Structure 1
């Protein structure tokens, strides 16, 4: 019998008032890609932090065996010396250093205490060739796209003679082409003898690359499944099987049943964008949003589809308070009247809300509490004699904690400690309490598991049923097809099509999304 490369036995990890992991088991075989699945907050990242030494030996219970030997890592350097390297969802690169400098940061190619730059550049070039990144090692990391930066992280791991590579949501921020290339690379590394643990919510990707899957729920191991069983055995894995393990129930429908809006102003145009044109904030010769016009009616969910760089986020951010780029031309009408949206406060006052695709950077104050984050967009309504009424603020947050099913024992919890799905619910709560007429949702379910996605879809449907107008941006075409009444497509900053729900297919949307100017 082949000896496992990794065994984690009975891992239990507690934080004050919370048991994050309880008797968790994980076994990874040699040359195996092992997927780790579970809802946000299930304990996946915590388990990998235990393995990599972020949570050092002594801060948890249980045993870890690597290559047949018991190990007790006191920090990340200790795990890396054994060949265990973790790549977090938020990449740990320094943007103004070169590719070569980033690859060997903390692991410098030095002789007698002096960096050997010739050796550094040669080694960097060899590693870049291995991961398929055709860039000069002198190139600053800031000049790379997210896909290129992900490859630099993997090259950095390979420089440490990695034996077990841990990837946390490696394709969350990548387009389809970069995602496919990265998955191919992970398969190549497996064939070269590098085992991998991949945390992902994208079940189609798991089925493509994984040899085995372990499902966690509420900090416990639910089951481990083989993706590629013996030739004469029935396959153990399907997407429905994984979902059932993750959420503890079957999801008969990935999207909730829609309740139509039946108000007297049904069909009235709530948002109209006319001739909207914006240039790049640095290179002002480059037009990033080009003469875009669209409408969203009350009670309607309207999607925007487009490949990476199509201009979807640039459109959303520039409409919402001109918070991106240099405005050139265009107008915004809300409920039939031209609205002043030249600043973020003016956009909020006019009835707009914007749920950003980057909740950690733009959507939340991660070091503050839930109740203060919920009130951020509606502080004027929280005032009492010029001072924020903290009792009222707390009551509002408690109401949303219950109605949005935010999994936390108290609204005084720091937002940065919540799972991604619960953080997204806090962002939505903040904007819902502001009582907008129009919600612009930019990748509202990015990095969120299927169970939390369903809850957020339900919230969005409920808002539309109340008469809110929703503009829904997503990179996942099945999500747009399942949620939207109409879908606009964008390419190179322009609208290239408008498709009704009844006529929309992934193939039709993709044709519109790949239209070029020529």
Structure 2
């Protein structure tokens, strides 16, 4: 991974004024003070790490910087001169580009069209677009970041990792001098991450300032030149990487000590078989999948990005149709789709919570009870009071940070949205929970809470199948794990065999 520039050298090379500075920024929403007198500065050629729990104000601060939100109070300075940012166009003119964790791509347009959306070169005739130039310019930018793909492919056909690379290409195409990256490696493989780190090193050498939001401590210390920590909408401190340890940063972020080892009581005696998958294949590319999950255990499903992990849980849930094999749940064969899965007690917490896990325009309460309607209202008559009591109880139980259950779920932070997705299946009394990247883009404090919740579920008799790209999570949390490669199960690792080295060996090399 790219090494950070020594702090003393970085300080000595600084110009008198920051490349860009925010002073005393405040922003309020109904019932929520998102930012409270936050000041933040970035210099040319540095990677400035921005840390904080979900809901700490990181995304809100960056949305103010890029003009998506208008600050209630505060000032902006570009190279020492006072400027205004009241729109995205203002930020773009100042050389600011943001790659948000939740992508802003148009799925039915091509990669090239997404990269130059709103900035298309004119064609030879009035009102036309030079499509040939768009493709050639897009190919040039994709080559710059090491992404070898046909720019005419539609974005809807890309995986999450590929979409992330398109977002990066889109930002690079704007010749940004200040580039904000919000959890850019959350969905990338190790190889793709290394390409990104090499690209960041080149951008730094060109004088580009990088504001980098990450929950991965290894990235923070390997790449960061400075670190700013936010908590509850306020700036807590700014430190150099050599001045703080990971534990100190976590305490600054959450205001308490957090155990990052995710301790749990592993299953000593397996319970009954809850799920048995036999020779499962699907048109999505998986084939001959065989696995079992027992009550009281957390089973990992790991491997490289693109190995077929998500496709397996989607086929089990019925979101993708199986073409061969059997899915046996609680001793009975399951043949239907998601409705049957939910009715039987299977829960899927998907990787993309915003597009597949939530109704963003509906309230927190509506989202929490939607999967439990048959259980809560067997007569078919909706009882608003019972629904409110259920939702309020889950908000309190899961510590969901929201003014009330009536708040639109789309206004919550990513970590709190993830809690809502899990909560709706708690209300439905699910027996098998399938977690697809449950901690993607979630801070260390929320990770501990989610893993404690999963541990509690299996301790009470449920079963869990968990996908994670972070091998350390699989090793620390799971009782055993299946490793996938090229759409197939490459091997199974017992608790004693479950190491990062063994996961990589099975995931990358043929036995």
Superposed, which structure 2 residues align to 1:370-381 within 5 Å?
A: 370-381=364-375
- The answer as to whether partners of 1:277 and 1:330 remain within 8 angstroms in 2 is no
Counterpart Cα distance in 2 of 1:158 and 1:496: 38
Consecutive unaligned residues in structure 2, runs of 5 or more: 1-13
Task: Report the number of matched residues.
Answer: 495
Q: Please say if 1:130 is aligned against 2:144.
A: yes
Q: CA distance change for structure 1 residues 120 and 253 in 2, over 3 Å: closer, same or farther?
A: closer
Instruction: Give the 3-state SS of the residue equivalent to 2:120 in structure 1.
Output: coil
Q: What is the 5 A alignment of 1:429-444?
A: 429-444=423-438
**TM-score, length of structure 1 as denominator length:** 0.90
CA pair 440-155 structure 1, distance change in 2 beyond 3 A: closer
Alpha-carbon distance in structure 2 between the residues aligned to 1:492 and 1:256: 32
Deviation at 1:132, TM superposition (A): 2.7
Which segment drifts farther, 378-387 or 70-79? 378-387
Partner of 1:61: 73
Structure 1 equivalent of residue 197 of structure 2: 183
1:251 is aligned to 258
Q: 2:206 aligns with which of 192, 205, 210?
A: 192
* Structure 2 partner of 1:358: 352
> Matched residues in 2 for 1:67 and 1:449: separation?
32
Residue by residue over 1:384-406, the C-alpha shift from the partner in whole angstroms, topping out at 9 and shown as x without a partner, is: 75311110011111111111111
- Give 1:481's aligned residue: 475
Q: State the match for 2:417 in structure 1.
A: 423
State how far apart, in whole Å, the 2-side matches of 1:272 and 1:124 are.
Answer: 46
TM-score, normalization by structure 2: 0.91
* Aligned-residue offset at 1:123: 3.8
Task: Verify: 1:236 aligned to 2:243, yes or no.
Answer: yes
Separation of aligned partners in 1, 2:199 and 2:492 = 36
Q: Is the 8 A contact 1:318 1:327 kept in 2?
A: no
Aligned partner of 1:284 in structure 2 is: none
Contact 1:275–1:331 under 8 Å retained in 2? no
Which residue of structure 2 aligns with residue 307 of structure 1? 304
Task: Find the counterpart in structure 1 of residue 174 from structure 2.
Answer: 160
Correspondence 1:246-285 to 2 at 5 A = 246-258=253-265, 267-280=271-284
Q: What SS does the aligned partner of 1:503 have?
A: coil
Range moving further from structure 2, 18-27 or 157-166: 157-166
Distance in 1, matches of 2:310 and 2:322, equals 14
Distance in 2 separating the partners of 1:220 and 1:409: 18
1:231 aligned partner = none
Give the deviation of 1:348 after TM superposition.
2.3
| 2:284 pairs with 1:292 | no
Question: Given that residues 33 and 211 in structure 1 are in contact (C-alpha distance below 8 angstroms), is that contact kept between their aligned partners in structure 2?
Answer: yes
Tell me the C-alpha RMSD between the 2 structures. Answer: 2.2
Task: State the 1:42 CA deviation.
Answer: 0.3
The list of structure 1 runs, each at least 4 consecutive aligned residues, that deviate by more than 6 angstroms after superposition, is none
Cα–Cα, structure 1 residues 126 and 279, in superposed 2: closer, same or farther, change >3 Å?
closer
1:202 aligns with 2:216: yes
SS in 1 for 2:366: helix
1:74 equivalent in structure 2: 86
Tell me if structure 1 keeps the 8 A contact 2:279–2:324.
no
Distance 1:362 1:249, change over 3 A: same
- Measured in 2, the distance between the counterparts of 1:476 and 1:24 equals 32
| Structure 1: runs of 5 or more not aligned | 228-234, 281-287
Superposition deviation, residue 119 in structure 1? 5.0
CA contact (8 A) 2:294 2:463 kept: yes
SS at match of 1:501: coil
Relative distance call for 1:145 and 1:184 in structure 2 (3 A) is: farther
Distance 1:211 1:293, change over 3 A: same
- Please state how far the C-alpha of 1:268 moved relative to its aligned partner: 2.1
Shift of 1:165: 0.8
Post-superposition Cα deviations, 1:95-149, rounded to whole Å, max 9, x if no partner, equal 4434433332222333776545565455444433332333454444445544444
Q: Residue in 2 aligned with 1:220? A: 234
1:194-241: CA deviations, max 9, x gaps?
Answer: 1111112222122222211111000011111112xxxxxxx2133222
